[in-house]
Amino acid sequence: MSDAKLYTYTEIAEHNKADKLWLIIEDKVYDCTKFADEHPGGDEVLIDLAGQDATSAFEDIGHSSDAVKYLEKLYIGDVDTASEKPQPSAEELAAQEAAKTSSSEGNGRLVLALFVAAFAVLGYFLHKS
Ligand code: HEM
């Protein structure tokens, strides 16, 4: 184990604005407060994710090895992964709920409906003959 400084999720979540801007990438904490202005992808995307886990956003972009190397300069410590995550706001919960209904649950219902329809048609033809 390294002797890196540990930050709790709550502490990290407090750094959620342009002048207090921390990001989590793969359980490491990066202080992007000064970097945001220089970010080739703009400061907006970083501010949007400030105080949160930006791992998938960072990876989805397909950042260059230069970008990955740059992370070393912004590194301030590790996430205390045993710490409690702050409660998501009502707004975030509603968004999560909406996402669930429209994707997985919605698909599940559609598959079920198709099955029912298929058996109804099958039953109809079997009875007919
Ligand atoms: C501390 C973390 C980050 C660092 C050090 C960083 C660094 C860089 C660098 C050096 C580039 C130039 C292209 C490259 O070398 O790959 C870049 C581009 C870009 N970054 Fe980041 N980035 C970070 C986080 C993020 C995050 C969280 C997002 C969220 C969406 C993001 C979105 C983008 C986009 C969209 C571009 C492309 C800009 C363009 O070519 O028009 N970056 N970043």
Residue nearest to atom 24 of ligand 1 (CA): 58
Domain 6-79 architecture: Roll (3.10)
Residue 60 CA: nearest ligand 1 atom is 30
Task: Please report the pLDDT score of residue 105 as a whole number.
Answer: 61
Residue range 50-105, pLDDT digits in tens = 999 999 999 999 999 999 999 999 999 999 999 998 877 787 788 888 887 766 66
The span from the CA of 54 to the CA of 84, in Å, is 18
Determine the Cα–Cα distance for residues 1 and 11; give it in Å rounded to an integer: 22
pLDDT (tens digit, 9 = 90+) per residue, 10-29?
Answer: 999 999 999 999 999 999 99
What per-residue confidence (pLDDT) applies to 104? 60
Domain residue ranges of the chain, discontinuous segments joined by +:
6-79, 88-129
Atom number in ligand 1 closest to CA 46: 27
pLDDT in tens, 36-58: 999 999 999 999 999 999 999 99
**DSSP codes of every residue in 89-109:** PHHHHHHHHHHHIIIIIHHHH
Q: Answer yes or no: is the C-beta of 47 below 6 A from any ligand 1 atom.
A: no
Contact 31 CB / ligand 1 (< 6 Å): no
